Amino acid sequence: MNFALMGQMFWEFMKIGLFAVGGGPATLPYLMDLTKKFDWYTMEDLTNMIAISESTPGPLGLNMATYAGFHTLGTFGGVVSTLGLVIPSVIVIVLVAKFLENFNENKYVQGAFAGIRPAVTALIAAAVYSVCRVSLFVETQDGYAPAVKTMILCVIVFGLLQVKKLQKYHPAVWILAAVVIGIVFRF
């Protein structure tokens, strides 16, 4: 067991848990940053983590932390990264719950959240852009080329999701349909 690597993984995911304000999607920029800092997983692995995390029960960020830790260090890595991600939230929730009434009316807290929201939105948008680039384009010697079948599937699913009657279907239905299409057409 590599305790130094576990400690490093715990520390990195604890920082993500502390600063990823806004839930699971807000963890994406931080997880992308880890692909640059460490060889724990690649961008392609990250897109797979997102797909798996979206198709399994539980919060996206938590699922991704568990997957990343497991992918790198096995079961103990999954536990360590998950604990690292969760501990800051537990501490903050306990503190906020204790002082909730004071925080709710505080103009500085309201101002801080007014500033945090657009920054988190921009971080998520940048992460979505990067995930789309990896998912919808293939890397070539000259840069990136469109993965045409993948783009067509993305546009079709996006279009279908705009139809009110189809929005009632659970995301698992869409994911299972994409799995079948991916197998049949070998994306």
pLDDT digits over 96-124, tens only?
777 766 666 778 888 888 898 899 899 88
With beta carbons less than 8 A apart as the criterion, state whether 176 and 182 touch: no
Distance CA 167, CA 161 (A): 6
Mean pLDDT of 84-104: 80
Mean pLDDT across the chain, nearest whole number? 85
Asked whether the predicted pLDDT for residue 81 surpasses 90, the reply is yes
* Amino acid present at 98: K
Distance CA 124, CA 132 (A): 12
| Structure token digits, residue 155 | 């546009």
With beta carbons less than 8 A apart as the criterion, state whether 44 and 13 touch: no
Q: What is the DSSP letter of 1?
A: -
Mean pLDDT of 67-86: 91
Residue 103: predicted pLDDT = 67
**Cα 153 to Cα 36, 44, 46, 72, 148, distances in angstroms:** 29, 18, 20, 31, 9
- Our measurement of the distance from residue 137's CA atom to the centroid of its chain's CA atoms, rounded to an integer in Å, reads 19
Per-residue pLDDT of 139-151, as tens digits, reads 777 777 888 888 8
Q: What is the pTM of this model?
A: 0.61
Count Cβ atoms below 10 Å from residue 59 Cβ, excluding itself: 14
With beta carbons less than 8 A apart as the criterion, state whether 127 and 25 touch: yes
With beta carbons less than 8 A apart as the criterion, state whether 174 and 157 touch: yes
Asked whether the predicted pLDDT for residue 53 surpasses 80, the reply is no
